[in-house]
Amino acid sequence: MKVKNINSRDLKQIMILEKEVFKENAFSKQLMEELMHHNTLFLKLVNDKNKNELMGFIILIKDRIDRVNIINFLINTRFQNKGYGALLLKNTLQKITQLKEIKKVVLNVQVSNSQAIKLYEKFNFRKNPEKIENYYQSGESAYLMELDIDSL
Ligand SMILES: CC(C)(COP(=O)(O)OP(=O)(O)OC[C@H]1O[C@@H](n2cnc3c(N)ncnc32)[C@H](O)[C@@H]1OP(=O)(O)O)[C@@H](O)C(=O)NCCC(=O)NCCS
């Protein structure tokens, strides 16, 4: 498995995965295209033993001078629960620590997504106890989770 920077040729595959995993909450193609050009990090995990098949991706944008926000993160359903999400997140956080000005990483997660919450907690993210009501298109609420880079 390899972690690589995204390429505009990946857009089609990215959108297939995005819709399959996030359904009505999926980012639009237009937004995804925009993010391919304007991001702090947009990384993909590929299977280098099978024609560089796309296994997952992660998108971060800088939303404050000292902070990045993980705005999208998924692993292809076929490859979930095998450690690949942890692998991609670890690699991403390593890259973030090299950006000296970044002190915090934040993200929003669906309150029902215990799998993702567990993964983030393993990496020292802290869950803000207050729910953000009606955060997603689907109407579901979100938690804000935060990581201090110094705690890595
Ligand atoms: C969340 C997601 C990225 C995690 O990737 P993954 O490859 O499935 O996760 P991993 O196999 O690396 O698991 C890492 C940790 O997550 C937790 N986890 C994974 N699967 C779990 C499950 N079925 N139930 C509970 N916890 C689980 C565990 O803490 C696990 O660590 P452990 O194996 O040491 O116990 C992936 O499941 C996914 O794409 N989900 C749908 C999209 C999504 O929810 N994205 C995040 C939006 S904020």
pLDDT at position 137, please?
86
109 lines ligand 1 (CB under 6 A): yes
> If pLDDT is split at 50, 70 and 90, which confidence band does 152 have?
confident
Query: In DSSP terms, which residues pair with 145 in a beta bridge?
Result: 107, 127
All domains in the chain, ordered by first residue: 2-151 (3.40.630.30)
Ligand 1, atom 26, residue with closest C-alpha:
115
Q: Is the CB of 142 under 6 A from ligand 1?
A: no
- For the CA of 79, the closest atom of ligand 1 is 7
Q: How close is the Cα of 115 to the center of ligand 1, in Å?
A: 5
Q: How confident is the model at residue 86 (pLDDT cuts 50, 70, 90)?
A: very high
Share of the chain above pLDDT 90, in %: 96
What pTM was estimated for this model as a whole? 0.96
